[in-house]
């Protein structure tokens, strides 16, 4: 029994010593006034107002992007004016002109320029080469000959109709003295 008691006493001593070691470590108490700062009401209100401003500006930013996207595609008015001006300038320099209902061709400085329908657009070709789209979303068009020029009736997708007159003038013949 003495040996049993000795081993039991040793265990007890070890438990006591471990208990003493645990109690000797300093215990930290949780306190808001030590080194750590917490959120105050003012900081919480500022953070919430910043969050609200950012979240409310997101729809405005998205609307701005859609406006920019819409403005990057030029209206048909600008496309039509550009087409009208370029045909008018080329027609003024033309030497010979051939007007058919579905196309117009003319000679400028020895090159044959052709405006014709291609799918849903009108394209420009030089010497039967190239593929330059000059008008898009075209449903139908007709070229007709008028006195010293031609007339174009055109209908865009959506029912918008435009028309234009293009004139060419031949140089007045000089009378010999």
Q: What is the pLDDT of residues 55-113, one digit of tens each?
A: 999 999 999 888 887 777 667 888 899 999 999 998 888 888 899 989 999 899 999 99
- DSSP reduced 3-state for 77: helix
CB-based contact 166:150 (threshold 8 Å): yes
pLDDT of residue 15: 53
In this prediction, residue 53 has a pLDDT band, given cuts at 50, 70 and 90, of very high
How many domains are contained in the chain? Answer: 1
pLDDT of residue 175: 45
pLDDT of residue 76: 83
Whether 40 is in a domain gets the answer no
Whether 46 is in a domain gets the answer no
Whether 157 is in a domain gets the answer yes
In angstroms, the Cα distances linking 51 to 42, 47, 55, 175 are 14, 6, 6, 85
The pTM score is: 0.56
pLDDT of residue 21: 52
pLDDT of residue 27: 55
Residue appearing with tokens 């920019």: 68
Q: Which tokens hold the place of 143?
A: 């070229």
Domain span at residue 126 reads 76-167
The alpha-helical segments, DSSP class H, found in the chain are 2-24, 41-72, 76-92
């Amino acid at each position: 029994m003495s040996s049993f008691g000795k081993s039991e006493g040793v265990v007890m001593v070890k438990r006591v010593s471990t208990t003493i070691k645990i109690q000797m470590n300093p215990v930290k108490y949780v306190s808001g006034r030590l080194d750590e700062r917490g959120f105050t009401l003012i900081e919480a209100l500022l953070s919430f107002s910043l969050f609200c401003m950012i979240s409310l500006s997101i729809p405005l930013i998205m609307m701005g992007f859609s406006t920019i996207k819409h403005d990057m595609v030029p209206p048909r008015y600008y496309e039509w004016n550009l087409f009208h001006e370029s045909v008018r300038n080329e027609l003024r320099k033309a030497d010979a002109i051939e007007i058919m209902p579905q196309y117009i061709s003319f000679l400028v400085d020895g090159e044959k320029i052709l405006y014709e329908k291609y799918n849903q657009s009108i394209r420009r070709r030089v010497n039967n080469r190239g593929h330059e789209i000059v008008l898009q979303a075209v449903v139908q068009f007709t070229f007709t000959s008028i006195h010293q020029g031609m007339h174009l009736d055109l209908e865009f997708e959506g029912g918008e109709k435009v028309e234009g007159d293009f004139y060419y003038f031949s140089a007045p013949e000089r009378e010999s003295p």
